[in-house]
Amino acid sequence: MLKFVVLCSLAALTFGSPHPKVGHQDRIVGGQEATPHAYPWQVSLQYRDFIIMPYYHTCGATIVDEYHIVCAAHCVDGRNAGSFRVMAGAHDIGSFSFESGHQKRHVSEFWRHEDYDHNVITSDTSVLKLDEPLEFNDIIKPIKMAEPGSDVAEGTVCINSGWGSTSDTNFPDMPNKLQYVELPIVGRETCSADYEGINGVTEGMICAGSDAGGISPCSGDSGGPLVCPDENGEWYLAGIVSWGMIPCGQAQYPGVFANVAHFRDWLDVHIAM
């Protein structure tokens, strides 16, 4: 879906000529194929529009315990819980993949943040509960979340992963194999100035990218993880792919992620359900 959109497809804000726009991101731009199972917390969130139709990848999401995944609100907005499927332990999500070790679960219910506003893409967080628990192993593991009220230091190099389109044209090229990109954190004041007149950047958001452009999440990556290293070098979930500019990877327009630390209390309450 597009909110660069995963990032997922939602209504987008337009501005200026030649009409670049803000949207949910669909692809990772400037990344590369991940080492298989290097990011065992990553899942493919899949959806089907009708019972007779096949599931298709729509967003990324992140395992936080055996029953719950964290995602973006725009990935679930207006959709039915019973039409989602989660694929964990995957590197290649192609229809003809011969990979083993996948675990597929359905979604019993989900919670979208009550303050989510699709017009300005605020409070873009959700929690999905699985119908059966995941069985953790070497390729399927949860990740810890950012501590409440914490902030990622500007310049910290973090990682975004996903199966979003890798095309820079209007014709998507969706990879079957997981991609990743390294993104340095951009200070909130700088990011806010970059998007002045386009969209607001709040404390509920984290920005990551390069002034030179060329690296970014995009549609299909929505809802997926931005993971950052702590003081011990261990990864934690800092952000959830939310929105950015289309075309993706433009100079001085970093990707924007929901700030997990800001929403940690809300996430904890719903993960406990």
Indicate which residues carry an active-site annotation.
74, 124, 222
SS3 (DSSP) at 68? strand
Q: Is 207:185 a contact under the CB 8 Å cutoff?
A: yes
Of 64, 74, 67, 75, the closest CA to residue 42 belongs to 64
Report the C-alpha dihedral over residues 154, 158, 162, 167, rounded to 10 degrees: 60
Residues 246, 23: contact at Cβ < 8 Å? yes
Residues near 232 by Cβ (< 8 Å), separated by ≥ 6?
Answer: none
Q: Which residues of 95-126 are buried (b: 16+ CB within 10 A; e: fewer)?
A: eeeeeeebbbbebeebbbbeebebeebbbbbb
Place of tokens 């004041």: 189
Is the Cβ–Cβ distance between 208 and 186 less than 8 Å?
yes
Among candidate residues 169, 161, 175, the one with its CA nearest the CA of residue 223 = 161
CA distance 255 to 222: 11
Using left for φ > 0, alpha for ψ between -120 and 50, and beta otherwise, residue 233 falls in left
